[in-house]
Amino acid sequence: MLPREAWLDLARKLDWTFRYVSESQLFPDAPSGTTRVPPDDWRRWEEPFKTSYREYVAAQHEKERAVRAVREAVGRPEHQRRIPRPWLNANKFHGAALPLAEFAAAIGNLRAGRFARDSAWRTMALFGAMDELRHTEIPLLLYHELVKWDPQFDWVHRFYHTNNWVAIAARHLFDELLLAANPIELAIGTNLVFETGFTNLQFVALSGLARDAGDPMFETMVKSIQTDEARHAQIGRSVLEILVESDRAYAQRLVDKWFWRTWHLFSVLTGFSMDYLTPLSARRASFKEFVEEWIVTQFLEVLEAHGLERPWYWDTFLTSLDHYHHMVYASAYTYRATIWFDLVVPGPEERAWLAQKYPASWPALAPVWERVDAGWRESDPDLDFAAHGTAIVTFCDTCQLVLCEGTPARNTAQTLVRGERKYIFCSEPCRWIFEQEPERYAGHLDVVKRVLAGQAPGNLTAILTQYFGLTQETWGRDVERGRYDWLDRPAKPRPPQRSAAEAPDERQP
Ligand code: FE
Ligand code: FE
C-alpha cells in the first residue's frame, strides 16, 4: 500500500476548474458568503491535521468505547445520587443548553461541507458535522438514563422544543450562528471564537472541576467531546488567515460580533456552574480567573497573531467580567421557577470566597443575597415561591437575556427607535450588533412582547406552565428547599404560609 504522505494531499485537494457553470452559480453568495477575497486565494486553504477518513473513523471509534465504558461504570442514577446537588444542576443546565445546539452545528458544518470555497476545508467541515452528531448523541444517551430518576433531566431533550425564555435566547443565538451562517461566518463565529476561545471554559476547565466535584461521567463526556474541538477550531484559524489578507474589516466585525454573543452565553452557562454550582471544596479558581487565562490571554494572542484588534468594547467586557454572571445568577435565582433546574443560595463560606475573588463587584451584590436570606427567613421551607419575583422582567432585543449588564448602581441599558418600534438592549455591544444587521433581528419578539401581543399569558404561573413548558414537578426550586443550617430561621412563631400569588416581589437586582 502507498504510504500516507504519497496520496493524502492528492485526495484532500480535489478542486478543479468548472467549465459548464460559473463560480457564482456554484457558490452563490447566500450559502457561500460574500467577501473581498479573490476566489483563487481560497485554494491556499491549509490546516495541520490532514486526517484521512479511515484515520478519522478509527480514532472516533476508540473515543466512543471510552465513553461507553464510563457510562457502564458511573452513568447510573445510583452514581448520580452521590453527586453534590448544586453540581448535579450544572449537569441539567449543560445537558439542555448544548446537545441540541451541537445538532444545529452538524447542519452548519454540512452546509460548509458543500458551500465552503476549498475542497480540504469542505472535507474538514464534513468531519466536523460527524463530530457534532457525536456531541449531540453522547449527552442525550448519558442523561437519558437519569430521566426516570429525576424528571428535570427530560429537559436535556425537551429544552429547545419549548418556549422557555432561556431556550428563546439560546435559539436566537444558535439559529443565527449555526443554522443561518454561511461557511465563512460559521468558521469565524463557531470555529474560531466559540471553539478556540470559549468552549475551553466549559469543556476543559469545568471538566477538571467535575472530577473534584465527584462527577467522572461529566468529566469524561466533555473531555471526549473536546478532543474533537481542537480539530474544528483549526478550520477557523485557516479561514481567518486568508480572510484578513483581503477583507480585514469583515473579519474584525465577525470577531467583534461573535465574541460578545458567545461571551454572554458562556458567562451564564459556565459562570453559574463555576462560581455557584461547584462545591467550594472543588473550586480551584473563579470563573473570572479562568476567563482571564483562557480568553484574555490565550484568545487575544490568536487575534494578535492574525493582526486583528481586540473587540472595540474591550473595557465594557472587562467590567462585565466582574458583574454580569453574578447579576444574571441573582436574577435567575429570584425567578428560579422559570427554569428547569434548581439553584442554590451561596452560604456564608461561598460568599466569603466570592468577596475575595470579586472585590470590585461583590460588595454591591452581597445585599441582594441578604434580601434573599430575609425572604427565606420569613417563609416556611419547601415553599417554591419564597424569595421569588412575580413581575415580568425586561429582555435585551439582541441577546434575549434579562437586562443585567452594568452594575447594580449603573444600568447600561440602551434604546433604539426603528420604524414604529422601540428596541431595548442590555449594553452598547448588543445595540451595535443589532445596528449592523437590523433586518436580521428586528422582527424577533422577546418574551415581554409575546405577552403584549397576546401570544403568551402574563400571569407568572400561567406562563410557566402554558408557555415555558414547565410543570410543578420540573420547575426550578431552591436546591435545599430553603433549609440552610446557616439561615438562622426564627423558631416560632412562623408567619402563615403564602400562596404564589401573594409571594413577595423580589425583583431582579
Ligand atoms: Fe461540538
Ligand atoms: Fe444583550
Rg of the chain taking only CA atoms, in angstroms: 24
Ligand closest to Cα of 264 equals: 2
DSSP state letters, 261-291: HHHHHHHHHHHHIIIIIS-GGG--S-HHHHH
CA distances from 181 to 39, 195, 237, 245, 258 (A): 19, 16, 17, 21, 12
- Distance (Å) of CA 361 to CA 251, 275, 282, 323, 403: 33, 14, 23, 6, 17
CB 431 within 8 A of CB 438: no
Please list, in sequence order, all residues whose beta carbon lies within 8 angstroms of the beta carbon of residue 215, skipping any fewer than 6 positions away. 83, 87, 91
pLDDT at 495: 54
DSSP single-letter state for residue 423: E
**Arithmetic mean of pLDDT over the chain:** 92
CA of 229 to the centre of ligand 1 (A): 7
- How much is the pLDDT for 286? 97
Which ligand approaches the C-alpha of residue 224 most closely? 1
Neighbours of 363 (CB within 10 A): 11
CA 44 to ligand 2 center in whole angstroms: 38
Q: What separation in Å is there between the alpha carbon of 364 and the centre of ligand 2?
A: 21
CA 284 – ligand 1 centroid, Å: 26
Ligand minimally distant from the alpha carbon of residue 324:
2
Cβ 172 vs Cβ 444: under 8 Å:
yes
- 44: number of Cβ within 10 Å: 11
Which ranges in 148-191 belong to alpha helices (H)?
Answer: 155-158, 165-174, 183-186
CA of 251 to the centre of ligand 2 (A): 22
For range 32-53, the mean pLDDT = 91
Residues 44, 45, 51, 53, Cα dihedral to 10°: -100
Separation of CA 95 and ligand 1 centre (Å): 13
Alpha carbon distance 20, 29 (integer Å): 19
Q: Helix, strand or coil for residue 416?
A: strand
Ligand 2 center to 323 CA (angstroms): 14
* CA 108 from centre of chain: 17
Measure 392 CA to ligand 1 centroid, in angstroms: 34
> 3-state DSSP helix/strand/coil percent for the chain, to nearest 5?
65, 5, 30
The gap from C-alpha 164 to its chain's centroid, in whole angstroms, comes to 15
**131 C-alpha to ligand 1 centroid (Å):** 6
Distance 387 CA to ligand 2 centre (A): 26
- Cα(477) to centroid of ligand 1, in Å? 30
CA distances from 158 to 161, 162, 428 (A): 5, 7, 33
| Distance in angstroms (rounded) separating the CA atoms of residues 303 and 305 | 5
Whole-number Å distance, alpha carbon 397 to ligand 2 midpoint, is 7
Q: How far apart are CA 300 and CA 306, in angstroms?
A: 10
Starting from the CA of residue 169, give the closest ligand: 2
DSSP string of 26-84, one letter each residue? HS-HHHH---SS-GGGGGG---S----HHHHHHHHHHHHHHHHHHHHHH-SHHHHTTS-
pLDDT tens per residue across span 75-134: 888 888 899 999 999 999 999 999 999 999 999 999 999 999 999 999 999 999 999 999
Q: What separation in Å is there between the alpha carbon of 296 and the centre of ligand 2? A: 21
In terms of phi and psi (left: phi > 0; alpha: psi -120 to 50; beta: otherwise), the region of 50 is: left
> Three cell numbers at 244?
484578513
Task: Report CA(185)–ligand 1 centroid distance (Å).
Answer: 16
Residue 255: C-alpha distances to residues 26, 107, 382, 414 (Å): 27, 21, 46, 22
In angstroms, the Cα distances linking 82 to 67, 213, 221, 223, 394 are 20, 10, 18, 21, 38
CA 225 to ligand 1 center in whole angstroms: 7
Please check the confidence at residue 505 and state whether its pLDDT lies above 50: no
Could you tell me the distance, in angstroms and rounded to a whole number, from the CA of residue 428 to the centre of ligand 2? 8
Residue 509 has a pLDDT of 36
- Domains in the chain, start-ordered, CATH in brackets? 57-390+461-467 (1.10.620.20)
Q: What is the band of 496 on the pLDDT scale with cuts at 50, 70, 90? A: low
Kindly give the distance from the C-alpha atom of residue 384 to the centroid of ligand 1, in angstroms, as a whole number: 35
Query: How many angstroms does the Cα of residue 132 sit away from the middle of ligand 1?
Result: 5
Cα(105) to centroid(ligand 1), Å: 7
Q: Give me ligand 1 centre to Cα 19, in Å.
A: 37
pLDDT in tens, 304-354: 999 999 999 999 999 999 999 999 999 999 999 999 999 999 999 999 999
Cell, residue 411: 444600568
Chain segment 178-221, per-residue pLDDT in tens: 999 999 999 999 999 998 889 888 888 999 999 999 999 999 99
